Structure 1
Amino acid sequence: MKKARIEDLDFEKGGGLIPAIVQEYKTRKVLMLAYMNREALEKTLETGLAHYYSRSRRRLWMKGETSGSIQRVRRIYVDCDGDAILLQVEQVGDACHLGEHSCFHRALEEAERLHQSFDREVAEKIRGDYSRAEVTARRWVKDKKRKEYKFILTPYTEHYTPPDPEVYEWIAEKIDESTPDIDKVVAPECFGIPIAQLVASRKGRPLAIIRKRPLKPGDKGVEYASGYEKGRYYIYGVAEGEKVLLVDDTVSTGGTLLSLIRELASRGIRVAAVATIASKEDYRGRELVEKLTGLKVQSIVRVYIRSRGVEVEVVT
């Protein structure tokens, strides 16, 4: 990356001040906009803590000096004209004085048409990908009620082809916005891991992966049965008293989710919410999980397998 020096910054253009955009390093979310003079920037470099210049109080101030919500600076970048900077920080507590994590917590009402247009655009991409998806059959193993399990080869769940990054980020955004704050995100191997990591990163929380194989001899697992496989899951990285978001790629019969929710509860771990990219509605698993656990399953894409092909409803 190219370099710039303090001497390259044009403080004079803004009357001695330059705008400082503040971004959280681990979530990539924009937290706030503040202003710096040269002294504030030098103090930031000296201490490693974000300092700004208050235009209303006309003085230097350190973020969190009274609230404790300090910002530890991880990276500083300069824009092409040298009249603005970007700080990437570790935010302690919340950035906004109103108690929100980010100062940018309100959507512009007049922009709702643009937001809805983008949602429709993404939903159309998802419908198109599902309409072109190949449907394969696997032997049904859960019980004797069916003979085969329909497997839909899409970019979003099976990663049969790589998903569009913008669409995948949109799915993560929807899951993030529709689920509460938690201590950790948990996800079973294996297709749920990519979307779970995106959601965990957006929330700034760790991802705990539930394994299909024990990591140490003697580890005890919990049995599960989905439509096409049976086995054991081994839970690591979560502890009693923690609140978690359970994320998977797809809910079909509900066998995996039910086993994990019950096992987590038996260990004193509270499942605060459940989210999946897709729900195969013909298998009724989403409804079953909601009925037996009282938890709403946030499924972004609801899939129906018909004789003429795959139909989907995208929940925007």
Structure 2
Amino acid sequence: MVKIAIAGSGGLAWIFAKALCSTEHTTIILSRNDQPEFAKLECQVVVLDYDSQLDLRFHLRGIDVVISTVSGAPQINLIDAAHDAGVTRFVPAEFEGPPARRALNDPLNRGKRETIARLKDWSHDTRNPMRFTIFSCGVFYQRFARGGLALYNIGIGTGIERQGAYLMNLGNDTAEVVEYTGDGKPIYICLTDVYDLANFIVAALDHGLSSWLPEFRVQSDRKTVTEILHYGAVVKNVNGLDTITHEAQNLKKNIDYASYQQDWDTVARFEELAATESGRYNFTQPNLNPLVNVVPTPFWDWLYHEWKS
């Protein structure tokens, strides 16, 4: 049995907690405020101050694994406290494409580089090393849901939480994409149902912490942008989505112009398209899928269920 602390109380924390609380593992929720809805899951909610190292260290004593869904300074503080409290393994809020595929001047950084640097520092502590594991999973299916990620209380404030903020909006049968890389190759995207991700994390725990790698790559499916658009059109029973297609070489110009206009929603949308074109969300060899007994949901099945109901 493993003792787990989930940091945060948003939608991602809820989905992880729902999966973990049905296992033999002990799970607590670390939150700034009381969260009565978690009582349904029979999870203990610990109210604490993320700015207080003393508070964090006290509540992390005896915890084996921290799974973070918080970012920025609160996550850095959590990492430091987890190390000092003797936590064995830390899972940061890095649930997207592999870190190695991010640009050095990544506009979508949002503290990610600093988080990984701090984790590497503590993993190299010869007296008290704290290991970490990143679960790289590509793009969540829920970006394409009715209501988008916001409906699940995920990604709030990132600019991509709204329905239609990424690639296609099936609510009005529209899309805005880049389909090919600068050298003319189809753009691939790894996609994961957030509920599959939760099941992968549970399965990895059951597989044994001693076998955990610094990065687990998981995916529910992998499709080209063109295939995603086709699926959207078929599920909505239209000849094709009303699509704006951008060329890869024009993305930076569009970002610069939107920045000049201070149109930050458009900036966020184009930065995601640029990241997608650069391969940020694409990988071909998921290393956790073959190790565990999780049967992920194909993207078509999820999309059909989401929009045909």
Q: Same fold (TM over 0.5)?
A: no
The TM-score with structure 1 as length reference comes to: 0.25
Q: Which has the larger share of strand?
A: 1
Greater Rg over alpha carbons, structure? 1
